[in-house]
Amino acid sequence: MTATKNATATSESFVHPALFYRGEEEYLDGTVPFIREGLKFGHPVAVAVPGANLALLREGLGMDAASVRFLDMTDAGRNPGRIIPRVLRAFADAHPQTHVRIIGEPIWPGRSSVEYPACVQHEALINPAFQGRDVTILCPYDAGRLAEEVLTDAYATHPVIVSGGGLRPSPSYAPGQVIAEYNRPFAAAPVAAELQHFGIDELPYVRHSAIARAAELGLSGVRLDDLALAVAELTTNSVVHGGGSGSLRIWAEESQLVCEVRDGGQLNDPLAGRRPASRDQRGGRGLLLVHTVVDLVRIHTGPEGTAIRFYLGR
């Protein structure tokens, strides 16, 4: 194993490197020394990666694995929009007095083309979300199996790249450009998906109607509660922040239920819904709640209005 000791040591308090690996050996070479060095310095270390790599790392770390917080990213980070508040900030905020190391792998072969824009935007948003924080977030990319376009985007979302046992600046770092580029219109909704317009008086009706339709499409139990909560927040946001009214439609796509809410407002804060809420904070949890309970959130916003689609497994 070729150790990449000090691979992420820089003078900046926040460090966000991409690690391109090919195969298990390169994966372990790029991650295990990073973890062990953190443990040696007494830094809290978390690993949020897909299950197979989680198992690989546990084995590679041996006894040291007991000192590391492990999360399966395919579960905790199924929706990329909740990774910053519920995975990364949750761990970093729990250790405010010391440097924190996190390995986060939000993009893996198998992420769908519908999920991918939200994944790239998440990677780009890590930079403003952690600016000035005493945190290192190392993001492995499976260079042997991911598309070239994905690797190109990783150069744009990470200010530094792990290379030759050290760090070098990314030649094409441009997170703001990436966020804008992936703010794309959605594919058309099915014609059969009934459009429901709502204002303040119709908020309960549109929620009840969405629950009934979702139940017809096979949603039940906690997932039906999740839909009700998400619909309540998005439709209320449209009334309060989106010009006073909006429209909703709901349909099924393969194994998922899709719900879309549109209104005339523009979402100007790209980190909206990605900041954890303090316990004494009265409001500001609406979009955070949606990100937390659903499997995917896609947003398209501009001067002409905002469309938000969320996906729930049936």
Count of residues touching other proteins (by CB under 8 A): 25
Binding flags for other proteins, 247-286, as an x/- string (CB under 8 A): ------------------------------x-xx-xx-xx
DSSP 7-26: TT--SSSEE-EEEEE-HHHH
Is the CB of 52 or the CB of 94 nearer to other proteins?
94
Is the CB of 146 or the CB of 211 nearer to other proteins?
211
- Segment holding 215, helix H or strand E: helix 203-216
Q: 283 to 302, contacts with other proteins by CB under 8 A?
A: 283, 285-286, 289, 292
Helix extents (H) in 17-50: 23-40
Which residue bears the tokens 């990213």?
73
d(C-alpha 88, C-alpha 172), whole Å: 24
CB 48 to other proteins: min, Å = 19
Is the CB of 31 or the CB of 292 nearer to other proteins?
292
CB 210 to other proteins: min, Å = 12
CB 266 to other proteins: min, Å = 21
- The vertex-101 CA angle with 99 and 103, nearest 5°, equals 165
CB 102 to other proteins: min, Å = 21
Q: 175 to 204, contacts with other proteins by CB under 8 A?
A: 200-204
Q: 199 to 258, contacts with other proteins by CB under 8 A?
A: 200-205, 207-208, 222, 225, 228-229, 232-233, 236, 240
d(C-alpha 66, C-alpha 78), whole Å: 25
Contact 306, 267 (CB under 8 A): yes
Q: Does 51 bind other proteins (CB under 8 A)?
A: no
What type of residue sits at position 40? K
> Could you tell me the sign of the dihedral formed by the alpha carbons of 126, 283, 247, 222, in that order?
positive
Between the alpha carbon of residue 234 and those of residues 42, 47, 253, the distances in Å are: 42, 32, 20
Residues contributing to the site for other proteins (CB under 8 A): 200-205, 207-208, 222, 225, 228-229, 232-233, 236, 240, 277, 279-280, 282-283, 285-286, 289, 292
